Amino acid sequence: MAAGNWIIYNDFIANSYKKVYNLNATDTIKCALVTSGSNAIDKAMVGAVYGSITNELATANGYTAGGATAASGAIAGGGATATITFDTANVAWTGSGAGFTARALVMYDDTAASKQLIAYFNLDGTPADVTVPSGVTLTVTIANVFSAA
C-alpha cells in the first residue's frame, strides 16, 4: 500500500504565524484515524480543530478514539541547512476482534487548547479504505510532515 502525501491544513499555516504551536518536542502531537466520510479530509476545513472532526473511528477492535501519540516531535534545519523539516516518531495500531477500516490519518496538536489540526494523509494513495484485520499492525512512518526551503 502506498500512502498519499501529507496535506497541511490552511488553518495550521495561518496559526503558525500566530505562535499557536511549539512543535519542537514541547507540544504533544497525536494522530487519529478517520473514515472516508470525514470532514477532516479537506485542507480547507473551516475551524480545523480536533473537536470538529467527523467520522473518527470509535474505540474498538484495536483503535482508541483520540488516536495515538506521535512522540518526539522535532523541527530540524536552519543555519547551514536550508531545508526545515518537521518529523515525529511513528505511530501504530494492531487490529483485534473484527479489526478496523480507515481512510486517512489526521495529525493534531493535543497540547493546544483547541487541539488544532496540523495535517492529514490518505492511508492509501488511491485513495481507498485500508482494512486492518485482527493481529495485523498498521504502522505509519512519519517523516517530513512539512518542509520549507
Tens of pLDDT along 81-102? 888 888 999 999 999 999 999 9
CB atoms under 10 Å from CB of 28, counted, come to: 15
DSSP assignment letter at 30: E
pLDDT at site 25: 67
What number is the average pLDDT over the span 122-141?
94
Give the mean pLDDT of the chain: 91
Q: Is the peptide bond before 127 cis (omega within 30 degrees of 0)?
A: yes
pLDDT at site 96: 98
Taking the C-alpha atoms of residue 85 and residue 79, their distance in angstroms, rounded to an integer, is: 13
pLDDT at site 18: 82
- Using CB atoms within 10 Å of the CB of residue 75, give its burial: 0 to 12 exposed, 13 to 18 middle, 19+ buried: middle
Answer with the residue of higher pLDDT: 3 or 101.
101
pLDDT tens figures, 25-74: 688 999 999 999 999 999 999 999 999 999 999 999 999 999 999 998 88
* Cell numbers for 77: 534545519
149 pLDDT more than 80 = no
pLDDT at site 2: 54
pLDDT at site 51: 96
